[in-house]
Amino acid sequence: MDTNRIPSVLGPEDGEAFWGIDGSLWTMKADTAQTHGQFSLLEEVAPRGDGTPLHVHGEDDEAFYILEGTLTFRLGDDPPRQVAAGGFVHIPGGTVHAFKGDSESARYLIITTPQHERFYRAISERASTRSLPPPRPLDMDKVEAACAEHGVEILGPPPGIEA
């Protein structure tokens, strides 16, 4: 048996916790070390309005499974799509996209590639509690450096999700 591929079981409060740049809480449920470099799995809890600017990452697929709440996704030139709990969104690398939270809060899983895990780590900070972070200013220098290093291109401000 490959000693780098050891099964793991995490409880609801287990996993490395991070505060996202947008006011969300990220919990790493499976990192690339655990999956032998195959994928990463994060659980995100986000307040209303949380989301991303319009952006693209050419090499990194990303998938979302909505556990609670509602998010609206903008994918390429397609009309915006609202996705509720139980819904799934797959975003192939190279797809221009953005999303935002519509409900009071949302909880969802993000499955992504090892490089994109490194990007998430680069734009976040270790959480001191398992709660949403206190308000703080956005460190755009940190974001821009992480984007440059990990192949993420920001194409515009967070859209109202209109096409």
- Spans in the chain with pLDDT lower than 70: 1-4, 159, 161-163
Give yes or no for a contact between 96 and 159, defined as CB atoms under 8 angstroms apart.
no
Q: What whole-number distance in Å separates Cα of residue 69 and Cα of residue 24?
A: 14
Q: What whole-number distance in Å separates Cα of residue 89 and Cα of residue 93?
A: 13
Give yes or no for a contact between 147 and 154, defined as CB atoms under 8 angstroms apart.
yes
pLDDT value, residue 1: 47
pLDDT value, residue 3: 56
- Report yes or no on whether pTM surpasses 0.75: yes
Q: b or e along 52-83 (b: 16 or more beta carbons within 10 Å of the residue's beta carbon)?
A: bebebbeebbbebbbeebbbbbbbeeeebeeb
- In the 8-state DSSP scheme, what is residue 146? H
Q: Which domains does the chain have, with CATH numbers?
A: 16-155 (2.60.120.10)
**32-52 confidence digits (pLDDT tens):** 988 999 999 999 999 998 889
